[in-house]
Structure 1
Amino acid sequence: MTEQVTEHIDLSKYSDEDRAAIEAMQEEINLASTVAITNFCNVSSASAGIEALSSAMEQAPTSLLAGKIAEIVAKLSEADPRIVAEKPGWLARVTGSALEGKVRYQVSRKAVDTLIEEADRLSEHVVSLVGKLEEMMAAHAKESRQLELKMVAGKLYLERNPDAGLPPAGEIAFDNPRERFARRLASMAALFSSNEMSLTQMKLTRAQAIDMVERFHEISSVLVPVWRQHTMALVSSIKNSPEAITVAAKAHESLMTSLSALKGSAR
């Protein structure tokens, strides 16, 4: 039985430019030519776009910073400024290593500082990846739009030419170009839906990456300098006052809280 396309195409929702493109595309359709059908329904470019998308998604921009931020949070717990205020143990008193707590703190604080610098460099890489993602989104959206217009042109052609591609009446037919063309249009529709979902995922990934980078930059430009100032004062001073330790502890806690919240949002 010959498959008939009954869907009515409403061109009123398309712009004048799109309608002109649809009309021009119909002139490319020739159901008497297998080559013409194949060329019209060729979606290799869109398929290549999906492969590029899959490759980009594997790099998940938001995950690039998440691991480093988790390392910073873990190391911050070891670099509490209040360590400096701890009284040395009996061994430290016996050996004269009264600065044991300060040395331990200095080592942990330096490790945190190094991790923050690494995260800063990594955030620049994330910004670069977001730029590449935006370029891919623009190309993907353009391909999807062309795919949609081709589908509309194909369906409109079948609607306007109800006998096109049908086997001659009364003859034994081994091929039905009209049905073949309709199946290719259905495949294009499935690909279009997949493209739209992919584009939505790309937009979500981009938004998450931008949010993470911006929040991290806010932390690194405001809280990190304050943290460095007060914690460095503890390292450079021979004797620290309780007030200095308290201020440094507050800066430490603010930085750790903000980074912990950012780490949680990246999951």
Structure 2
Amino acid sequence: MARAVTTQKKAIYTVAAWGIGLLIFFPILWTFLTSFKTEGTAVADPPVFLFFDWTTDNYTVVQERSNYMRYLWNSVVIAGGSTLLGVIIAVPAAWSMAFVPGNRTKDILLWMLSTKMLPAVGVLYPIYIVLIRLGVLDTKGALIVVVMMINLPIIIWMLYTYFKEIPVDILEAARMDGASLRNEIIHVLTPMAIPGIASTILLNVILAWNEAFWTLNLTADDAAPLTAFIASYSSPEGLFYAKLSAASTMAIAPILILGWFSQKQLVRGLTFGAVK
């Protein structure tokens, strides 16, 4: 029997939820507002929130100074390519962990999780040397592989969780009907786990899009994504906050729009199997 929730508790929960949401959203709002200020207004003390002379000059300067579309395309290729490659590798791996008995799944999952605890700078030097020796430093292909490897444990963990919610009897029935392993994964398992796969793809696109450490250290110009685009506005002469905010707004706008339009699918996938 469901526990009754009083009107007072509902009001408290609602206010708390809105408060936390506004607290999380405030840095994005402040960055957006600062992008329309002059440099003098951006560093004013006390800070100016809404009542200032709005200008779009910062966006004009950013467009003239930087090739925004090239950075955007690099981000799209790296985020999309690394996520797609990760899913292709993770689906069979998660299937094996979820449905093949006696494969020490918990130990493997914990080992994969432990790799996320390793400081990224600890493996930067060997990866950097390997990419130089292979002649692929500052290429989109190399970044796709590196970012995929960084996020692969998360992809496998998420897919494993979704696959475990699928009744194994359905897969056994497909095998009895003569389905091969390939057909079982592609035509039976994958369609049933589409909500989970979709949410995994969305979440990992966001993680890859926001990846800064590897993209800043393994690129110079040719494969530089939007993280490098933002960093280029931090110069020895100082920080130009208004222009930096304009560049940041242009960099986060595509992923915010993607998240806004796909929020229902993301929530559906993240709660897949939570309620039985």
Return the index of the structure with the highest Cα Rg: 1
TM-score (norm 2): 0.25
TM-score (norm 1): 0.25
